[in-house]
Structure 1
Amino acid sequence: MEWYVKVLKNYFVFSGRARRKEYWMFGLINLVITVVLNLVDLGIGTLDATTGYGLFSGIYTLAVFIPSIAVSVRRLHDTNHSGWWLFLALIPLIGVLFLLVVFCFDSKEDNEYGPNPKAINEPDTHFAS
């Protein structure tokens, strides 16, 4: 849950880098919350079958729209790609699949977008002998 909250705290932060764990944990928790809110909307009768959104799920989707884009841009930065690559999602199927593959890449070293966040957050496991 801390990764989800971290993304929400960086609401308008498009600079820097986001590790895979941050991106995918946000996506997983976001999916769970969306499903639960859709069930609530279905239960109270506000779910619109044509759009797939109801009152609560629609408000939630609007609330996390900017953080979702921001964490995606930071994830692209972590793989050493420009945030403009996110526009590839506008290409039906192929663009989304390509971005899915890029989001799965591991970060290995520092790049122009900042230091490797994986190296910053890892505890020191080496002991002096």
Structure 2
Amino acid sequence: MANSYQVRLFNKAEGIDQTVEVPEDSYILETAEEQGMELPYSCRQGICSTCTVMMGVTGISDRISIKSKAVKMAIEQDINSALKRSAIVDVDRIQVESENNKVVLRGDVRSFAARDEAERIARSEPGVYSVDNHLGVNWSSIVE
């Protein structure tokens, strides 16, 4: 069974915004015309250059999971490494957990500045969309 691709043709100047299904080993232009799209002459000749191509995965079937435990572990390790480099955060008192692009910080820190810094570090990690900061400020740990 040959693969096919959903291709969105978009050109604001020409008023084109349509998605076509293109079989593997087929030309996008020919398939679009076969499916009834009216394209400007310059598109048919390939000389316009106003359309751009963006390639990438937009959907996956067969219930394949993109996110893996390796990604989860990498996010947690990267955040822990960044916390270790911070001058005001005591990384040994913080637990970092990640799941589905969400990070949860637990534990305690010595100041509100350290709490904010830990959250900033977690938010700056690529792939993190939200952070739940459950860090408590433990003033008594300053005296230890």
TM-score (norm 2): 0.23
Larger radius of gyration: 2
**Greater RCO between the two (CA within 8 Å, min separation 6)?**
1
